[in-house]
Each structure stands twice: as structure tokens, then as C-alpha cells.
């Protein structure tokens, strides 16, 4: 029994996951406790069985001793199992197999002795799955070994889960172990009334309640009940506890309850503590075994009683001290009562209400205890040692009135009364009888304090009269009755009452309104003196709402922050963090999200050591969560945590977490990392002087590696482009921190001192001075903390840059100009302009650099480096540009024009943009190099309306260039400007230039203008402009000088097919479709198969695009079908793989025509207007017969048209 008690003590210890060695030490503690209580062998050793004669029958105990001595444990185990099943259990075997110390592996003696405790080996008959050598029976031995390892790993994992579950159930069983009534010296009824519900009991009752709800069709209630007890599986009774029998349902328990009501006995039965054994077992056991068991039992009882005696002696000493102290209090109260005695009110008081400020009788050691009404206290069987305590409680509630009441008059409301007199009367019965023990001492006082009566009215009569109104309530909710019968007399009692009532109130509040309870829970938890109650209240807070939304989470977070501020870092660590730890693996993402946000919100109020260890570990674990919103919240909390950490050893770990978060697959997580975590970590890196040399250099190095990989043959374009965009945007987010660090480390002391007298001046920074920050953490005013200081440092930096002062003592500035900018320029030079998204990301990066560091830095440190790369000697034009090695054909040109020169909107920059554009058009045109760079630069500059005139001027300067290649490039660039600009500019500047180029002597120049004309038709609504373009297209198709040009015809067909769905319906129906049909007819008679195939493919694409438009039946019949039939003829000859598609299009259009005609015929036949004119003509009729049949109808129609004509 003592062994079991120690085991229960170990398992019931509060397990704290924040202590290091506690997890591994639990099992060692259990084993040590069991080994300590292992029975010692007596003089008559159990290992020496008694010798019996040949006729004497062997006992089971002798057999057990022999089996254990010879290490035949399996046989002993089988014997123990069979005896247990037959109800004849042997204590020897039971104690042996219940002691885990008997089965631990121990090494043999160094001198060759036998092992102290043998090991259990698997017998050949006990074949399990993991003992089979599967590879021996398989042809594929290696695969079988791998499969066997996989299966064994699975079985090991399941076994660990089973062990964990059994440990939890065993702990609950140990906690819920109730002493036997034989060994109990207290009344069971009173113990049950006082004892709280144990976990095993709660789970069993929950299971029965859910079973009752399901059996009686309360399905919705059952679902709600299961959700509120989500930690329990209601489908499996074994989840309640280990080896727990299933009781009958609730209805049977209720019906059977009255049969087992035990009348309270007058006497008590006390057992000697011996375990009863069946008579048959007693006859079979040997005297030696019985004597050993009795000795062990006596020793255990002796130790138990000695411990109990020590406990009682401590209680006696404590009670003596309390008695002496309370004696003085009682004497003082009696003196005050005599002085305050006065007439009383006739209304009885249910419970005393005393001033919370005057409570001298309340002992400090008992302030956390709840004072029960006297009537209730006396109904319980209390041990003799507590008798004086109850009397003290009855007297303790007699409290003096405030001294100021004597001055108010002769009549006062009465002395503070004895708590529970009326409560005792209400409960009646035993309470009244037992109350008479102290009635003689306090009767007069209690009567004067509670009852105002006439002298000739007896006290019993007055109480009976009161009982007609205040009578016992027949209810099982004794808790609520007790609460309403006792009104709190101090703030501490209010806190304790709230702690008791809130767990019962919360389940009855709607989920949508439970956040209203947060203030109550927090105030109660912060003021409650007991750590256990505070833990329960905080657990209620975190489990208050099943799936808290954003607003509810913010309310809970605000409450947690307020609690942490109130209680301090130590309590916040010990009481709030465990609640977060319990919720970190919750099945609902909203709960895990609450934990992730709580870690960040609480970190400023926790010790820094905890932030850098436990909180960091929790956030690192949540960074692996499958829900992206949780990872995003964890990233933000990591930023807050690293802004508080001082431990430099955590820097590398933080950098790894940062890079991992930057590589997340979710865009929302990456954005949160760049805006919050990156900014916070950059601040810490700046304090450690690692911003430039470590953090930014790490990201820049990854950008360089990705750019090199993109140049390799057959690269992963999508992944490479995505990474370059990602790293460029990350560097863009670091620009404000880099600028702030350079300002802080600059040699500006003299300039700052000279500007002290200007402190009273108004400070304003130009709105366009800095780029728009992505978030508040990228705002330089926020980073620097003072707008005035920022402005002074900016002016000092600009002056220093213009003067080009000494920079040897400024390592961060040297790194920026000599390392950072050149490496970025090298990355830009490696990229082709065809990677549009990558080039634009790098352009934005240079815009942020130039706008942040200012025009002076851009002119002196950035622009010269780009000019040195772009200025190529004329003798190297053809070799470098045509090979694609020149920077003018790479991404360098658009990044320089849009990211550097286009960042400050100055007139000098505009002139440089125009100059470099004209030069690039000429160079790329003459060298016939790829034009992606100039096209991308035009597109990006075209997005800003302030550059439209500049771009048109640059193109007009090249319209009359002597080189036809330059004019071709110019015509193609006009196509980019034809959309998105003012229609007046299109009419006055674009169309005239295109008409001029369309009359060029070079056919290639004319062909290059056709797409630009088509773009104008798609994006312009001015009738005058459209008519000029229509005329130009008609010239292309009608002029014999153009019709003979095969390239021109192909380009016209491509353009008409492109603009057909978006052009005006009239132009499409009257020009495009007839012209396409004519060109299809001409092409079907061509003798050049190569040209015929190219034209046929262009016509096929054009008809495919236009076939999606709404076309009338007449247009289909007259223009669409003739052209498609000619195209089908060409396809059969030159492109047979597309012939089936064309035939299908023809069938679709023919079915539309037939459907429309049949619909019109049915409409006419059903209309009475057409019936006189409907004539049935037989195909076999002669011409004269048919004429005779239709003559009347023709005569009538002629009369109708004649009337209309008049």
C-alpha cells in the first residue's frame, strides 16, 4: 500500500515542460520508489521452499518459489495468470511481477558470478512478426530487409504511443485511487462531499452523459458536448481509463440509487488493514509466507502511523498558536459588542456584510480559505482536532463596527453578525442539533445579532416563523445554494467567488459573446492568491472561444499583455507561457494562431533569457506549421523577439530562420518576412556592425549565384526569374536600414553641432524625397526616431557627397560605393532584357537606392558607373552588339534609363534619357541586334505620361534616318506608343510618322508599319484617325506595288486577324472578311507552294480568331464560307494536318445557316399573314403547272407592292 502511495505521489506531481531534466527523470523516480519498497527477505527466506514429504501435497507458493529461483519466469507468469483468473492470486507472484525492478537488465559480476537479475529471452515458441527473418524466405533479400525495417519502425512508433497512453491512464488511475473503506477513519459521505471530481470520474461521467444523449436522440446537444470535451474519445470506453469497468447507463444508475442509500451510522468500523484471502488460499499457503506478508504489512502500517502522528503534532502546535491569538481577538470583540449593543432591525440577515477594510479577526494564513456557513460546517463529521477550529470559525466572523458609527447616533444597524446562524436554521436537522454544542456560549449574542423580537416571544418560535419563508431548497445544485447564502465581505473573497463561479458561467455564454468575460477572468486571475486557481483561470482564457476570429484574438492578446504588465516578468513566464505551450499543437488553426501572436505580444514583458530560448523555440516550431497564416504570424513574432535579444550567439540562428522564411512557398509569409522580420533583424545586425558585411552581403551573394545560373544552358527560367525578383525585392526592403546606418556612422559631428541653433525651426521633408515605404518599419522617420535629426543628417550627407570628402574612416560608405553598387551593376549586366520581370525588379531596386540616397549621390556614385559600361567605342559596335555582349543590348539600358535617370524627374535627366534612347535605336538598328532592351525601356517610360513627348521626339528624329534598319526599329517602336497615349498625340504625331514610313522605298520599312496601324484601330475612337488608317489598309491591298509583295500580304493578314475581334463591326464586316476571302481565293491559285503555305497558315489563324465573333447568316454565306472553302483547298494540298479543323469550321457555319433558314420557314408557315401566299409545288410539276399554281399569289403580292409604291 505504501509503495502504491509513493507511486501515486510521483505520478501526480505537476509536470512542467520548461524544466530540463524532468522528462527523463520521471521513469527513474517511479522505479526508485518501487525498488525502495521491495519486501526484504526474512530469516526464513522465501527463496527456500519448505521440504515436504512424499505424501504431502505441494502448495502453489512452493511451486512459485521454485520457478522464480530457477529463473523460469514465463512458467511463473503463466501460473500467476491462471491463478488470478480463478480468483486464487498468490501475493508472492503478484508482488514479483508488479515490481519493474525485477526485470531490469543488470551486468554480471566481474568475477564471473551469475547475473543478479536474469534477462527474459524470447523462447523459440514465441514467434512474433519482428522475430521472423523475412529475407531468408525471399528472393529479394535487400528489399525484404528494407520493408522489415519500415514495418518495425511503424511498430516501434505505435508501441511508444501505446506506452504514452498507458502512462497517462496509469497516472489518472493513481490520482483517482480512493482508499478502502476498511482503512478509512473518516466518514465517506463527508469525504465525497468535500472531494473534487477526479479526472477518471469526470471522463467516465462524460462518457455516460454522451451515451445518454445519443440514445435519446439529443444529437445536436451530443455534438456540442463532444466539442467541449474534445480531449476525450466518446466512441471508445477504453479511452476513459485503463482496466476500468463499464457501468450501466445513467437511467439504471438513477433507478438503482435509492436501493443503496446508506443511513449514517452511529458508530464507525475500523479495519486492521489486512488483505483478505480466500480460505482455500489460506490453507494452501505455508506459515512462512503468511508470516512474511504480515511482517511487511505491519512495517508499512507502522511507518504510515508514524508519519500521521508527526502530521498531527504539527497541527496541534499550529492550533495552539491560533487559539492563543484568537483568544485575544475574542476578548477584544466582546468588549466592543458590549459598547455597540443597541435595538436591532426586525428583518433577518442571510449573511454578514462587513467592511473590507476592517477585518482584524481574519488571520493572514487563512485569507485564501473560503469560510463556510456554520450550519453547513456542523453537518459534517469533523475529527476531534478540528472541533476548536470550527468554534474559532464561528467566533471569527464576529467583527466590530467602524469607530465612526458611535458618532452617528444611538441607533446602529447592529453588530457584525455571526456567519451562518440563519443558514444553520435553513438547513435544519443535524445542523441544529450539532449547533447546540456551542449554542450555550454564543446564543445570546447570535440572537441579538440576527433576530429582533419581543421579549415574550421565544427564540424557537421566532426561528420557526422565519423558516416559513426561508426554507430548504430541494435541489442538487448545492454549490449555487452555498454561493448565494454567503455574500463576500472583502475584495479577496470576491476574487475567490469569481474563481469558483466563472468555470460554471462560461459554458452557458454564447460563443459569439464570450469575449465579454475576458476582463472578469483577467482581473480574477491577477488577484487570486493561489497559483493553481490562476492557472485554471488562464486556461479558461485561452480556451474561452473555440475558434477565435481576428477581433476576439486581439481582445485576448490585449488582456494577456495587461496581465503580463500587472504581474511582472516572472509570473508572466511561469503562468502565461505554459498556456501557450499547451495550445501550440491544437487541431484548430485559430488556436495555434493565437499562440503565435501571443509569443510576440508577450515577449517585451518576459525575461530576455526566456525570449532567446523558450519563446524562440516555440516560434521556430510554428514556422513549420502547415497553415500559412500561422507561419506569417510566427514570422512577425520572430521580428519582435529578435528586436529584444542581446545574445550574439543567436545571430546565426536568426539569420537561418530569416532566410528560411524568405524562401517560404507562400507569398503572404514572404511579404510578412520582408516587412517585419527583415526590418527587425536588420536593426539588430546594425547594432552588431553586421548589416553590410553579413546580412546584405548574404542576400546579394544569392542574387549573384541565381543570375549566373540563369546564364547556363537550359536553365529553369521560371524558378530562376522568381528567385531574382525575390532577392531584388529583399534588397529593396533593406535600403532604408542601409541608409540609416550610413547616416548614423558618418563623420557629421561638426555639421550637427553647427546646426544646434536651428532646433526651433520648423522641419519638413519633401514628399517626393523618399520612395513610398511598403510599411511603417521602412519609414526612415520611424527608423531614425526623430524627423529633425533625420533632416540634419540628410543635409550633412548631401554636402559630404558633393564635396567628396575623406571616406577612409567611413567603412560603410566605402562598402556601398566600392562593393555594393558595382556588384549590383554586374548582376544587371548578366541578365538578358527578355527576362522582363527580373529587369523590372532590379529597376525598382535602383529607383529606391537613388531616391533614398539623393540626387547628389546618384550623380556622383551611380550614374558614372552605368555610363562607363554603356559607352562602347564605335569600332567595337558590330562585334560586341551583334554577339549580345554589349550592355546596350542587355538589361543595363532599361535599368539605367528607368531606374537611375528616371528616379528624380529632373530636366538634365530627361535630356540624357532622350540622348541614350536615340543612340540605342541607331546602334541596335545598324547592328541588327536584338531589340528587347530598347523595347522594355520604351514600355516602362511610356507608363509615365510625362515622358510621352520625349519618346515621340526621339522617334521622330529617327524617322528620316539614312539607315533603313534604323527606320524599321523606329516603326516597330511606334506600335508601342500607339496605345495608352492621348488621342490628339496619336492623330498629330503618330499617324503622320507612320504614313511617312509606309511610303518608304524599302518594303521592310512598310511592312514594319502595318502592326502599328492595327494597334491604332484597336485603341482609337476618333473617326478622322480611323478613316486615315482605313485608307492606308485599302492602299496596301489595292495598290499593285504592294500586292506583289509576299511579306507585306502575310503581315496584313496577321494584323487583320489580330484586330478583327476588337475592331468596329462595320469595318470587320465590310472590309476585313471580304478582303480575307479574296486573298484566300488568290492564294488557292498560287503556284509557289512555300508562299502558299505561309499565306494559308496566316489565313487559318485569322479565320480562327474571327470565327468567335457574332456574324450574321448573310455574312457567313457571302464572305466567311467562300474564304474557308478556298482555305480548305489550300490545306488539303500544303498543310493537310489543319484540313480537319477547317472542315469542322465549315460544317459549323453551314449548320448555323440551315438552322436559321428552318427557323424562318417555320415562322412564316405559322404566321396567318403568309398563309394565303403559301403554295404547294410538286417537284414533278411542269413549268406551266407550277406557274399556274403560283399565279394567284403573284397577283396578290403585286397589288400589295403597287399600293406601297403609290
CA distance 1 to 588: 43
Nearest 5°: phi and psi at 88? -130, 60
Confidence grade of residue 258 (pLDDT, cut at 50, 70, 90) = low
Residue 1167 has pLDDT above 60, yes or no: no
Q: Indicate if 1162 and 1064 belong to the same structural domain.
A: yes
pLDDT tens track for 266-283:
444 544 444 444 444 444
Three-state SS for 432-473 is HHHHHHHHHHHHHHHHHHHCCCCCCCCHHHHHHHHHCCCCCC
Question: Of 1020, 1044, 1068, which residue is a domain's last?
Answer: 1044
pLDDT given for residue 48 in this prediction: 41
Q: Write down the H helix ranges in 623-764.
A: 628-642, 651-662, 667-672, 678-687, 697-711, 717-745, 749-754
Q: Which three cell numbers stand for residue 639?
A: 521580428
d(CA 889, CA 968): 17
Residue 226's pLDDT is what?
87
Other residues' Cβ atoms within 10 Å of the Cβ of residue 967: 24
CA atoms of 29 and 100, how far apart (whole Å): 12
Residues 370 and 319 in one domain: yes
Provide the pLDDT for residue 748.
76
User: Of the ranges 426-430, 716-720, 744-748, which one carries the lowest mean pLDDT score?
Assistant: 426-430
Same-domain pairing of 349 and 400: yes
The answer to whether residue 399 sits within a structural domain is yes
Three-state secondary structure of 897-961 = HHHHHCCCCCHHHHHHHHHHHHHHHHHHHHHCCCCHHHHHHHHHHHCCHHHHHHHHHHHHHHHCC
C-alpha cell at 118: 536474469
DSSP 650: G
Residue 993 within any structural domain of the chain? yes
**pLDDT mean across residues, the chain:** 75
- The residues, ordered by sequence, that sit 6+ positions from 599 with a Cβ below 8 Å of its Cβ are 580, 615, 618, 619, 622, 634, 637, 641
| Res 355 pLDDT > 60 | no
Directed axis angle between helix 678-687 and helix 717-745, to 10°?
40
The answer to whether residues 452 and 345 touch, using CB atoms and an 8 Å cutoff, is yes
* Residue 814 and residue 742 in contact, taking contact as beta carbons nearer than 8 Å: no
Question: Could you report the per-residue pLDDT of 1024-1043, keeping only the tens digit for each?
Answer: 988 999 998 888 888 777 77
In this predicted model, what pLDDT tens digit does every residue of 651-701 receive, in sequence order? 999 999 999 999 999 999 999 999 999 999 999 999 999 999 999 999 999
Examine residue 781 and state whether it is found in any structural domain, yes or no.
Answer: no
Segment 946-968 shows an average pLDDT of 90
Tens of pLDDT, residues 1001-1026: 888 999 999 999 999 988 888 889 88
58: its cell numbers: 505441494
Site of grid cell 466563472: 502
Same structural domain, 354 and 367: yes
Are 239 and 311 within one domain?
no
* Unique residue bearing C-alpha cell 512462512: 288
State yes or no: pLDDT of 396 exceeds 60.
no
Q: Count CB atoms within 10 A of the CB of residue 204.
A: 19
Task: Please spell the DSSP secondary structure of 588-637, one letter per residue.
Answer: SHHHHHHHHHHHHHHGGGS-HHHIIIIIHHHHHHHTT-S-HHHHHHHHHH
Q: What angle do CA 833, 838, 839 make, to 5 degrees?
A: 50
Output 421 or 1150, whichever has higher pLDDT: 1150
- Whether pLDDT at 185 is above 80: no
**Residue 1094 included in any domain:** yes
Domain final residue, candidates 477, 502, 531: 477
What is the pLDDT averaged over residues 811-826? 93
Cell output for 105: 537488465
The verdict on residue 1098 lying in a domain is yes
Residue 1075, burial from CB neighbour count under 10 angstroms (0-12, 13-18, 19+): buried
Q: What are phi and psi of 835, to 5 degrees?
A: -80, 75
Q: Of the candidates 682, 605, 675, which has an alpha carbon nearest to the alpha carbon of residue 636? A: 675
Answer yes or no: is pLDDT of 539 > 70.
yes
Can you tell me the mean pLDDT for 57-74? 86
* Residue 428 reports pLDDT greater than 60: no
The region of weakest confidence among 94-98, 380-384, 861-865, 1041-1045 is: 380-384
Q: What is the mean pLDDT of residues 1133-1159?
A: 85
pLDDT at 261: 52
Shared domain for 201 and 323, answered yes or no, is: no
Between 256 and 1058, the more confident residue is 1058
Residues with Cβ < 8 Å from 237, sequence gap 6 or more?
207, 244, 246
> Is 722 in contact with 716 (CB distance < 8 Å)?
no
- CA dihedral (677, 680, 684, 686) in degrees, to 10, reads 110
Report if residue 753 sits inside a domain: no
pLDDT digits (tens, 9 = 90+) for 126-167: 444 444 444 444 445 456 667 777 778 777 877 777 777 776
CA atoms within 13 A on the CB side of 238: 3
Per-residue pLDDT, 562: 93
Helix (H, G, I), strand (E, B) or coil at 1008: helix
Q: List C-alpha distances in Å: 777 to 478, 687, 688, 741, 845.
A: 57, 17, 19, 15, 18
Percent of the chain with pLDDT over 90: 29
| Between residues 495 and 738, the one the model is more confident about | 738
Angle CA(518)–CA(520)–CA(525) in degrees, nearest 5?
95
pLDDT tens digits along 896-951: 999 999 988 888 889 999 999 999 998 888 888 888 899 999 999 999 999 999 99
Phi-psi region of 274 (alpha: psi -120 to 50; beta: other; left: phi over 0): beta
| Structural domain that includes position 1149 | 1055-1166
**pLDDT higher than threshold 50 for residue 499:** yes
Q: Is 255 helix (H, G, I), strand (E, B) or coil?
A: helix
Q: What is the pLDDT of residue 8?
A: 41
Mark which of 1044, 1066, 1089 sits at the end of a domain. 1044
Lowest mean pLDDT segment, chosen from 209-223, 419-433, 795-809: 419-433
Provide the pLDDT for residue 124: 41
Share above pLDDT 70 across residues of the chain, in percent, rounded to a whole number? 69
Categorize the per-residue pLDDT at 1096 as very low, low, confident or very high, splitting at 50, 70 and 90.
Answer: very high
pLDDT value of position 138: 45
pLDDT of residue 324: 76
State how far the Cα of 1121 lies from the Cα of 1106, in Å rounded to an integer.
Answer: 13
pLDDT in tens, 15-60: 444 444 444 444 444 444 444 444 444 433 344 444 444 445 678 8
Same structural domain for residues 324 and 439? yes
217 phi-psi bin (left φ>0, alpha ψ -120 to 50, beta other): left
In a domain, 309, yes or no: yes
Q: What is the DSSP letter of 139?
A: S
CA distances from 997 to 949, 966, 974, 1022 (A): 19, 11, 11, 22
Q: Give the model's pLDDT for residue 956.
A: 92
Out of 319-333, 386-400, 922-936, which region has the weakest mean confidence (pLDDT)?
Answer: 386-400
CA distance 532 to 365: 17
Q: Is 276 helix (H, G, I), strand (E, B) or coil?
A: coil
Cα separation, 14 vs 636, in Å, equals 33
Q: Could you tell me if 1072 and 1154 lie in one domain?
A: yes
In 3D space, the residue among 1046, 1071, 977 whose CA is nearest the CA of residue 1015 turns out to be 977
Q: Are residues 254 and 397 in the same domain?
A: no
Same domain, 1079 and 1020: no
Measure the CA–CA gap between 915 and 131, rounded to whole angstroms: 84
123 within 8 A of 72, measured Cβ to Cβ = no
Q: From 945, 854, 931, 948, select the one nearest 894 (Cα to Cα).
A: 931
The CA distance from 267 to 179, in Å, is 19
DSSP secondary structure letters along 78-92: HHHHHHHHTT---HH
pLDDT tens digits, residue range 100-136?
777 654 433 434 444 443 444 444 444 444 444 444 4
Residue 316 has a pLDDT of: 81
* DSSP 8-state secondary structure symbol assigned to residue 890: B
- Asked if residue 439 has pLDDT above 50, the reply is no
The verdict on 217 and 361 lying in the same domain is no
pLDDT tens-digit series, residues 456-493: 667 777 777 777 776 655 544 677 777 777 777 788 88
**What is the pLDDT at residue 108?**
39
Query: How crowded is residue 943: how many other Cβ atoms within 10 Å of its Cβ?
Result: 10
pLDDT band at 310 (very low <50, low <70, confident <90, very high): confident
Separation CA 1121–CA 1152 (nearest Å): 11
User: How many domains is the chain partitioned into structurally?
Assistant: 5
- Residue, of 872 and 965, whose pLDDT is higher: 965
- 1022 part of a folded domain: yes
Task: Report how far residue 417's alpha carbon sits from residue 516's, in angstroms, rounded to the nearest whole number.
Answer: 36
Distances (CA, A) of 227 to 233, 313, 587: 11, 49, 12
* pLDDT at site 170: 63
- Note whether 318 and 369 are same-domain residues: yes
Amino acid at each position: 500500500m505504501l509503495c502504491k502511495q509513493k507511486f501515486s505521489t510521483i505520478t501526480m506531481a505537476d509536470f512542467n515542460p520548461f524544466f530540463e531534466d524532468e522528462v527523463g527523470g520521471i521513469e527513474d523516480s517511479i522505479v526508485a520508489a518501487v525498488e525502495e519498497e521491495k519486501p526484504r527477505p526474512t530469516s526464513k527466506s522465501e527463496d527456500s521452499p519448505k521440504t515436504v514429504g512424499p505424501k504431502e501435497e505441494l502448495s502453489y507458493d512452493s511451486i512459485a518459489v521454485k520457478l522464480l529461483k530457477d529463473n523460469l519466469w514465463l512458467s511463473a507468469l503463466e501460473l500467476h495468470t491462471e491463478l488470478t483468473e480463478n480468483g486464487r492470486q498468490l501475493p508472492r507472484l503478484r508482488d514479483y511481477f508488479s515490481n519493474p525492478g525485477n526485470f531490469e537488465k543488470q551486468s554480471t559480476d566481474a568475477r564471473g558470478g551469475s547475473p543478479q537479475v536474469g534477462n527474459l529471452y524470447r523462447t523459440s515458441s514465441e514467434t512474433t512478426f519482428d522475430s521472423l527473418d523475412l529475407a531468408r524466405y525471399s528472393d529479394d533479400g535487400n528489399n525484404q530487409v528494407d520493408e522489415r525495417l519500415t514495418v518495425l519502425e511503424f511498430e516501434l512508433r505505435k508501441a511508444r504511443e501505446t506506452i504514452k497512453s498507458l502512462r497517462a491512464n496509469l497516472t489518472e488511475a493513481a490520482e483517482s485511487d480512493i482508499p478502502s473503506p476498511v482503512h478509512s477513519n473518516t466518514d465517506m459521505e463527508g469525504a465525497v462531499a468535500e472531494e473534487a471530481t477526479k479526472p477518471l470520474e469526470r471522463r467516465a461521467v462524460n462518457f455516460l452523459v454522451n451515451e445518454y444523449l445519443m440514445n435519446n436522440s439529443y444529437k445536436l446537444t451530443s455534438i456540442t458536448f463532444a466539442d467541449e470535451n474534445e480531449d476525450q474519445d466518446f466512441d471508445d470506453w477504453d479511452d476513459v481509463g485503463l482496466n476500468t469497468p463499464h457501468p450501466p447507463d445513467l437511467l439504471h444508475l438513477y433507478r438503482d440509487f435509492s436501493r443503496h442509500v446508506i443511513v449514517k451510522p452511529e458508530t464507525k468500523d475500523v479495519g486492521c488493514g489486512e488483505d483478505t484471502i480466500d480460505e482455500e488460499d489460506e490453507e494452501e499457503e505455508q506459515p512462512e509466507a503468511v508470516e512474511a506478508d504480515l511482517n511487511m504489512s505491519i512495517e508499512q502500517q507502522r511507518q504510515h502511523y508514524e508519519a500521521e502522528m508527526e502530521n498531527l503534532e504539527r497541527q496541534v502546535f499550529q492550533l495552539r498558536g491560533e487559539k492563543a491569538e484568537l483568544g485575544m481577538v475574542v476578548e477584544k470583540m466582546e468588549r466592543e459588542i458590549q459598547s455597540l449593543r443597541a435595538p436591532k432591525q426586525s428583518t433577518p440577515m442571510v449573511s454578514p456584510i462587513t467592511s473590507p477594510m476592517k477585518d482584524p479577526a481574519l488571520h493572514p494564513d487563512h485569507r485564501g480559505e473560503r469560510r463556510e456557513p456554520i450550519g453547513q460546517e456542523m453537518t459534517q463529521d469533523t475529527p476531534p482536532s478540528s472541533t476548536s477550529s470550527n468554534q474559532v470559525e464561528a467566533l471569527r466572523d464576529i467583527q466590530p463596527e467602524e469607530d465612526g458609527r458611535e458618532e452617528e447616533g444611538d441607533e446602529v444597524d447592529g453588530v457584525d453578525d455571526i456567519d451562518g446562524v440563519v443558514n444553520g436554521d435553513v438547513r435544519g436537522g443535524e445542523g441544529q442539533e450539532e449547533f447546540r454544542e456551542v449554542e450555550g456560549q454564543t446564543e445570546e449574542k447570535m440572537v441579538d445579532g440576527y433576530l429582533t423580537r419581543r421579549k415574550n416571544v421565544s427564540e424557537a418560535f421566532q426561528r420557526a416563523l422565519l423558516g416559513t419563508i426561508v426554507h430548504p431548497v430541494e435541489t442538487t445544485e448545492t454549490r449555487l445554494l452555498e454561493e448565494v447564502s454567503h455574500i463576500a465581505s472583502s475584495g479577496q473573497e470576491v476574487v475567490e467567488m469569481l474563481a469558483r463561479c466563472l468555470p460554471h458561467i462560461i459554458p452557458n455564454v454564447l460563443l459569439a459573446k464570450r469575449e465579454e468575460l475576458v476582463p472578469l477572468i483577467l482581473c480574477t486571475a491577477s488577484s487570486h492568491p493561489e497559483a493553481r486557481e490562476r492557472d485554471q483561470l488562464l486556461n479558461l482564457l485561452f480556451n474561452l472561444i473555440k475558434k477565435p476570429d481576428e477581433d476576439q484574438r486581439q481582445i485576448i492578446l490585449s488582456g494577456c499583455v495587461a496581465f503580463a504588465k500587472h504581474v511582472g516578468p516572472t509570473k508572466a513566464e511561469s503562468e502565461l507561457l505554459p498556456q501557450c505551450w499547451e495550445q501550440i499543437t491544437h487541431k484548430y488553426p485559430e488556436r495555434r494562431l493565437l499562440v503565435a501572436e501571443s509569443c510576440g505580444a508577450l515577449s517585451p514583458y518576459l525575461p530576455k533569457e526566456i525570449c532567446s530560448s523558450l519563446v524562440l523555440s516555440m516560434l521556430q516550431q510554428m514556422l513549420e506549421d502547415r497553415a500559412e497564416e500561422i507561419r506569417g504570424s510566427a514570422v512577425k513574432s520572430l521580428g519582435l523577439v529578435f528586436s529584444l535579444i542581446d545574445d550574439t550567439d543567436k545571430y546565426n540562428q536568426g539569420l537561418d530562420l530569416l532566410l528560411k522564411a524568405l524562401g517560404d512557398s507562400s507569398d503572404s509569409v514572404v511579404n510578412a518576412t520582408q516587412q517585419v522580420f527583415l526590418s527587425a533583424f536588420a536593426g539588430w545586425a546594425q547594432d552588431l556592425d553586421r548589416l553590410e558585411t553579413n546580412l546584405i552581403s548574404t542576400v546579394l551573394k544569392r542574387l549573384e549565384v541565381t543570375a549566373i545560373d540563369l546564364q547556363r544552358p537550359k536553365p529553369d527560367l521560371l524558378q530562376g526569374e522568381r528567385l531574382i525578383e525575390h532577392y531584388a525585392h529583399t534588397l529593396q526592403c533593406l535600403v532604408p536600414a542601409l541608409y540609416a546606418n550610413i547616416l548614423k556612422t558618418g563623420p557629421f559631428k561638426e555639421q550637427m553641432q553647427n546646426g544646434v541653433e536651428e532646433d526651433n525651426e520648423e522641419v519638413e521633408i519633401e514628399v517626393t524625397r523618399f520612395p513610398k515605404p511598403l510599411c511603417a518599419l521602412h519609414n526612415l522617420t520611424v527608423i531614425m526616431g526623430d524627423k529633425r535629426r533625420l533632416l540634419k543628417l540628410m543635409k550633412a550627407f548631401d554636402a559630404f557627397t558633393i564635396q567628396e570628402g575623406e571616406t577612409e574612416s567611413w567603412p560603410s560608405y566605402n562598402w556601398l560605393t566600392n562593393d555594393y553598387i558595382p556588384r549590383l551593376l554586374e548582376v544587371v549586366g548578366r541578365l538578358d532584357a527578355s527576362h522582363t520581370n527580373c529587369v523590372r525588379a532590379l529597376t525598382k531596386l535602383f529607383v529606391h537606392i537613388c531616391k533614398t540616397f539623393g540626387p547628389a549621390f546618384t550623380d556622383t556614385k551611380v550614374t558614372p558607373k552605368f555610363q562607363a559600361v554603356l559607352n562602347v567605342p564605335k569600332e567595337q559596335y558590330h562585334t560586341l552588339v551583334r554577339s549580345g555582349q554589349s550592355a546596350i543590348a542587355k538589361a543595363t539600358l532599361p535599368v539605367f534609363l528607368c531606374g537611375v535617370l528616371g528616379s528624380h524627374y529632373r530636366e538634365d535627366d530627361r535630356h540624357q534619357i532622350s540622348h541614350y534612347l536615340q543612340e540605342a535605336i541607331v546602334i541596335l538598328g545598324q547592328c541588327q541586334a536584338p531589340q528587347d532592351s530598347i523595347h522594355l525601356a520604351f514600355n516602362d517610360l511610356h507608363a509615365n505620361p510625362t515622358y510621352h513627348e520625349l519618346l515621340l521626339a526621339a522617334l521622330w528624329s529617327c524617322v528620316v534616318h539614312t539607315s533603313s534598319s534604323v527606320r524599321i526599329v523606329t516603326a516597330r517602336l511606334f506600335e508601342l506608343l500607339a496605345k495608352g497615349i492621348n488621342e490628339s498625340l496619336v492623330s498629330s504625331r503618330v499617324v503622320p510618322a507612320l504614313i511617312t514610313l509606309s511610303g518608304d522605298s524599302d518594303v521592310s520599312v512598310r511592312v514594319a508599319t502595318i502592326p502599328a496601324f492595327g494597334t491604332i484601330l484597336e485603341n482609337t475612337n476618333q473617326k478622322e484617325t480611323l478613316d486615315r488608317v482605313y485608307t492606308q489598309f485599302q492602299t496596301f491591298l489595292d495598290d499593285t506595288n504592294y500586292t506583289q509583295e509576299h511579306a507585306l500580304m502575310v503581315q496584313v493578314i496577321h494584323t487583320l486577324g489580330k484586330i478583327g475581334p476588337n475592331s468596329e463591326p462595320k469595318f470587320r464586316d465590310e472590309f476585313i472578311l471580304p478582303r480575307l476571302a479574296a486573298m484566300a481565293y488568290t492564294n488557292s491559285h498560287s503556284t509557289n507552294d512555300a508562299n502558299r503555305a505561309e499565306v494559308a497558315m496566316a489565313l487559318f489563324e485569322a479565320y480562327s480568331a474571327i470565327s468567335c465573333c457574332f456574324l450574321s447568316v448573310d455574312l457567313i454565306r457571302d464572305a466567311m464560307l467562300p474564304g474557308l472553302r478556298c482555305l480548305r483547298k489550300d490545306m488539303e494540298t500544303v498543310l493537310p494536318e489543319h484540313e480537319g479543323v477547317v472542315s469542322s469550321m465549315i460544317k459549323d457555319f453551314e449548320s448555323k445557316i440551315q438552322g436559321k433558314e428552318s427557323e424562318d420557314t417555320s415562322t412564316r408557315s405559322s404566321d396567318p399573314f403568309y398563309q394565303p401566299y403559301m403554295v404547294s409545288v410538286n417537284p414533278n410539276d411542269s413549268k406551266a403547272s407550277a406557274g399556274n399554281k403560283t399565279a394567284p399569289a403573284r397577283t396578290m403580292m403585286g397589288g400589295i407592292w403597287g399600293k406601297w409604291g403609290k
